[in-house]
Amino acid sequence: MELVNAARADDKGSVGIRLLTDLRDHVMVGIDRLPTVAILDRLCALEEAPWSDMAGRPLDSGAWPRCSVST
For residues 44 and 51, the answer to whether their CB atoms sit within 8 Å is: yes
pLDDT band at 25 (very low <50, low <70, confident <90, very high): very high
Task: Give tens-digit pLDDT for 30-52.
Answer: 999 999 999 999 999 999 999 99
Neighbouring CB atoms inside 10 A of 27's CB total: 19
pLDDT value at position 15?
85
Q: Side chain identity at 28, as an amino acid letter?
A: M
